Structure 1
Amino acid sequence: MERFPIESEAYKQIVREKSLIRIKAPNLMGKSSLVDRIIDYALLQDYKTVSLNLNTVPETTLIDIDKFLRWFSLSVTKAITKDNKLRDYWDVELFGSVQSCTDYFEEYLLTNIDCPLVLCLDNLDRLFQYPTVTKDFLEMLRDWYEKGNNISIWKKLRLVIAHSTTDYINQGINYSPFNVGFPLQLPKFNEIQVLDLAQRHQLDWKKEAEIEVLMAMVGGHPYLVRKAMFESSYHNIELKKLLKDADEGTGIYNDHLRRILTQLQKTPEVLEALK
């Protein structure tokens, strides 16, 4: 499902020099899907592409900036070349991890490709639990973006960052990648899009009978909408019956609600406010 003009704007931005696209939306709204579309479009332009899901980074790596930047650099290296030269550029004692990572990208990775590099970082907010790593990493990304103004080699880099929350480190206006580049906020599906999606699931739903009922419960949330459609289509169950116990322990939204409950239980003050 395309949400015009989100995709077309992303495609326009990714072909521009030193572009930075910021995708923000709550969980399960389609950020990863949009990242995949951007990657596919970049591949059609014969660009090099790397997509890193930061939810896959081991926790032991996230507690140390040097370990994290080594993981980051090696992950990009494996995606675009098999020739690892990290030892030739990495000198923590003299230059520090951030400068070593920057030198590695500038003098090796970007220099040895003859096309733009699209680097997508999905679930960036995973880092926010580790303030020291987050601060240095975000400042580095902002610095790379700014380098594109004056250093031609950095114009090759196209950054795409996707995140769910604005609860990131307060670094000040000049040190964060979250106030530069091109922002994209993913909206919920509207009634026309929900109806279109129902037809793709081969459901003979009507606007008044099913679409409005479903949206009254979950709005146009992409995951929740599609979950109901999949269950109705695959198991041949009427929507009314599905929604009757949707919020119960055995209902179709049980897993989704339990994930939210787990998050709320981690922050008692938020749970109390919700009550």
Structure 2
Amino acid sequence: MNELGHTVFIDQDLRTGEAWLDRIDAEIKAADYLILLLSADSIDSEMVRSEISRANEYQKAQGKPQLLPVRVAFDGMLPYAIAAFLNPKQYVVWQSPADNEAVVAAIVQAIDETLGDLPDPFSQIPETEAALSEDGRYLTSSQTSPPPSPEFDPRFIKRLTAPGGAVRFSDKLYVERDEDGDLHTEIVQWGATITIRAPRQTGKTSLLMRGLHHARQSGAEVVFIDGQSLGLDAQSQLDPFLRGLAETLCDELGIDVAQVDRVWNGRLGAQKKLTNLIEDHILPQFDVPIVLALDEADALLTTNFSQHFFGLLRSWHNRRAMSPEWEKFNIALVISTEPYLLIDDINQSPFNVGLKLDLSDFDRTQFGQLNVQHRSPLDETAVSQAFNLLNGQPYLTRKLLYLTAVKQQPWTQIATEATLDNGPFGDHLRRLSWSIRTQPKLQQALLQIIRTRTCSDEDALFRLQKAGLVTQSGDVVVCRCGLYAHYFEQKLR
């Protein structure tokens, strides 16, 4: 590529550290093309996912970089967090060194804009019977012990919730918590409003999916919306958002979407139009509960209409007291933010009514249970040491047990290298560091928390909690786990 006159930057040429993260961001912003090497290992990298997301933000803002994915000896389905940005896109497949020249030629052809967009034949959701891991990864028949997934894949929700659907959960490593039973009981009731709140990577989406699966198997109708996939920002407007929601409701429930056009053809406000659509044209057609589930509802905070929408949800909750029809309409919300930060008026908040489930990290007993489910790769001493380091953070706990049980890495080595940028948790830690690299107030607040167990900046505290970096109990604020405290104390000093 250099010989052809292109300037090539490879991120592996840099040393790790804060300057490295800044350089990566600057190079992504300056690039005309971002070549993504997608292998079985790289697709699970949180840093790769963050870089792709960042490139997409720059692409929308400035028209570049264009993304050119190369599959490196990998023909599996891409994770949702990656596929959402790449399909359909130009793609190149590399299987062996024999493909080197052909791959370079294809990339050059793409850069010269002579190669059109092509569908990725490997990225389609399989139509055959499928199983999902405990954290929402699609499992092939040969995958019995896959690595943990940083994020739940929501693409299977339709087939998961369909009666007699061909998608099932593989629960051999799932730790059932009290919240599972509470959700299963409530979600099939009439007139339920449910809020699931937890930091990032706590298992809240997995909990919701199991609840929706249970609801569908119990006869309820389910409409699932992933807030992160809506592409909302400060320029988003309420009317088209609510119209899109109306169309989704009709489509998912088998109602003629043309009904939305008829309802929207009037002078009423969008909130009233959507309410009328539900009340007059949706609810009368069903004699079973309808569950509207909104995952990552915090995504609406990027808009200027979030409070109007949350107030609308509360008004639907209140209508149940006056109209039996609205008892059919259940609402399930998943958030990672303190409810009072999502809407100013508590009387218009949907988050302080109904069932509230605060999902926490694994406790010591659950940590030990998961170790046993992995055939006890850690002895009792190692379990205690590992729990003290990770404090039951679900994703890191699964990552540790995958490394020890499947990859057979010794705990002593993992413990020694735990806080290294190239260590067993390095990709996860670098992604967290990336998220606050340009936020000096967040860095100062995090360092204050590590040193004093207090935080004087409420806004910074809220953002650190939402990111899953810290937890608060009364006036005491601490890092979510010892690993974070050790890592960021070194990075921020």
Query: Does TM, normalized by the shorter one, top 0.5?
Result: yes
Q: Which amino acid aligns with 1:180?
A: V
Q: Which of 85, 88, 91 is equivalent to 2:262?
A: 88
For the residues of structure 1 that align with 2:253 and 2:356, how far apart are their CA atoms? 27
Aligned match of 1:182: 355
Cα 1:184–1:22 shift into 2, 3 Å: same
- Indicate yes or no: 2:387 matched with 1:215: yes
Contact 2:232 2:300 in 1 (8 A): no
TM-score, normalised with respect to structure 1: 0.92
Contact 2:190 2:329 in 1 (8 A): yes
For structure 2, the 5+ residue unaligned runs are 1-173, 448-493
Aligned runs of 1:227-266 on 2, under 5 Å?
A: 227-266=399-438
Aligned match of 1:267: 439
For structure 1, the 5+ residue unaligned runs are none
State the shift of 1:215 in Å: 0.9
TM-score, normalised with respect to structure 2: 0.53
Contact 1:62 1:127 in 2 (8 A): no
Contact 1:23 1:163 in 2 (8 A): yes
Q: Calculate the aligned-residue CA RMSD, in Å.
A: 1.9
Identical pairs, percent = 25
Q: Which of 106, 113, 127 is equivalent to 2:279?
A: 106
Aligned match of 1:48: 221
For the residues of structure 2 that align with 1:13 and 1:235, how far apart are their CA atoms? 40
Cα 1:154–1:98 shift into 2, 3 Å: same
Q: How many pairs were matched up?
A: 272
Larger gyration radius, structure 1 or structure 2: 2
**Greater helix share, 1 or 2?**
1
Contact 2:202 2:394 in 1 (8 A): yes
Aligned match of 2:331: 159
State the shift of 1:119 in Å: 1.3
Q: Which amino acid aligns with 1:103?
A: N
Contact 1:125 1:168 in 2 (8 A): no
SS in 2 for 1:94: coil
SS in 2 for 1:174: helix
Aligned runs of 1:25-44 on 2, under 5 Å?
A: 25-44=198-217
Cα 1:251–1:73 shift into 2, 3 Å: farther
Contact 1:20 1:158 in 2 (8 A): yes
Looking at both structures, which has the greater relative contact order when contacts are Cα pairs under 8 Å and sequence separation is at least 6?
1
For the residues of structure 2 that align with 1:62 and 1:22, how far apart are their CA atoms? 27
Contact 2:202 2:393 in 1 (8 A): yes
Aligned match of 2:374: 201
For the residues of structure 1 that align with 2:347 and 2:369, how far apart are their CA atoms? 43
For the residues of structure 2 that align with 1:259 and 1:75, how far apart are their CA atoms? 33
233-242 vs 144-153, which moves further: 233-242
Q: Which amino acid aligns with 1:270?
A: L
For the residues of structure 2 that align with 1:120 and 1:142, how far apart are their CA atoms? 14
**Deviation sequence 1:133-186 (CA, Å, 0-9, x none):** 201110100000000111111100111101001163442121111111111111
SS in 2 for 1:183: strand
For the residues of structure 1 that align with 2:405 and 2:415, how far apart are their CA atoms? 14
Contact 2:233 2:302 in 1 (8 A): no
39-48 vs 186-195, which moves further: 186-195
**Deviation sequence 1:185-230 (CA, Å, 0-9, x none):** 112212221122122223332222x211111111011111011111
SS in 2 for 1:178: coil
Q: Which amino acid aligns with 1:66?
A: D
Aligned match of 1:147: 319
**Deviation sequence 1:220-247 (CA, Å, 0-9, x none):** 1111101111122221111221232122
For the residues of structure 2 that align with 1:17 and 1:177, how far apart are their CA atoms? 16
Q: Which amino acid aligns with 2:351?
A: F
Contact 2:188 2:220 in 1 (8 A): no
- Indicate yes or no: 2:194 matched with 1:16: no
37-46 vs 77-86, which moves further: 77-86
- Indicate yes or no: 2:180 matched with 1:7: yes
Cα 1:60–1:194 shift into 2, 3 Å: closer
State the shift of 1:60 in Å: 6.1
Q: Which amino acid aligns with 2:352?
A: N
For the residues of structure 1 that align with 2:312 and 2:249, how far apart are their CA atoms? 16
SS in 2 for 1:22: strand
Contact 2:220 2:288 in 1 (8 A): yes
Q: Which amino acid aligns with 2:195?
A: R
